[in-house]
């Protein structure tokens, strides 16, 4: 057994493609049970760089009945950390290939769309879950949208409405959230 550090972006990259992905959930694991509130709290912890625990992966020749014989590649089985990995999937908008029900995933995807209040001070961002007020308020932005955006400057320009002073503040907040991708998991 070896200790290894992976960044969150490496974990996310290996969950949404059955042919390329190396992570899988064995059938004996329970399903996803976290509430949307726990997903929101995970985002807050990641942004604050709080420890979120380790992920235990099992390198095994265990074969999954989800794949045809000959189509299986070497997988790393998630023994501990499935709730966190699934929450990261929701956060980054990447449906894990092992998730069986698209309709159920889509409901969870909407429910767990963590929002950030960009009007708060940059060192005390506030995270929330969708509700009618937040959903239509320009000060609440989806963290998922920020993490999926390649061009933070363009997004910050749209949000700041061409206000140069506000642009700088918003862009800095977006960058602090984007750092979540590089958070190390052991």
Is the backbone of residue 171 left (phi > 0), alpha (psi -120 to 50) or beta? alpha
> By CB neighbour count within 10 A (0-12 exposed, 13-18 middle, 19+ buried), where does 67 fall?
middle
Q: Is the pLDDT of residue 153 over 80?
A: yes
Give this prediction's pTM. 0.85
Cα(62)–Cα(42) distance, rounded to whole angstroms? 30
| CA-based R_g, the chain, Å | 18
6-15, 30-39, 104-113: range with lowest mean pLDDT: 6-15
- Listed in order, strand segments (DSSP E) in 25-139 are 56-60, 75-80, 115-117, 126-128
Note the pLDDT of residue 175: 96
The residue with greater pLDDT, 3 or 43, is 43
Give the pLDDT band of residue 70 (cuts 50, 70, 90). Answer: low
């Amino acid at each position: 057994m070896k200790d290894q550090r992976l960044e969150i972006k490496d974990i996310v990259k290996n969950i949404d493609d059955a042919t390329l992905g190396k992570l899988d959930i064995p059938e004996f694991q329970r399903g996803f049970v976290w509430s949307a509130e726990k997903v929101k709290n995970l985002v807050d912890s990641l942004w604050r760089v709080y420890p979120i625990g380790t992920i235990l992966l099992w390198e095994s020749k265990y074969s999954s009945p989800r794949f045809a014989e000959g189509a299986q590649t070497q997988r790393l089985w998630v023994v501990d950390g499935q709730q966190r990995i699934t929450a990261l999937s929701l956060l980054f908008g990447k449906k894990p290939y092992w998730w069986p029900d698209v309709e159920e995933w889509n409901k969870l995807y909407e429910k767990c769309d963590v929002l950030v209040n960009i009007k708060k001070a940059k060192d005390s961002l506030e995270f929330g879950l969708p509700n009618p007020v937040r959903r239509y308020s320009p000060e609440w932005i989806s963290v998922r949208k920020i993490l999926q955006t390649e061009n933070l400057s363009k997004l910050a320009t749209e949000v700041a409405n061409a206000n140069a002073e506000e642009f700088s503040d918003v862009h800095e907040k977006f960058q602090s959230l984007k750092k979540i991708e590089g958070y190390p998991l052991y």
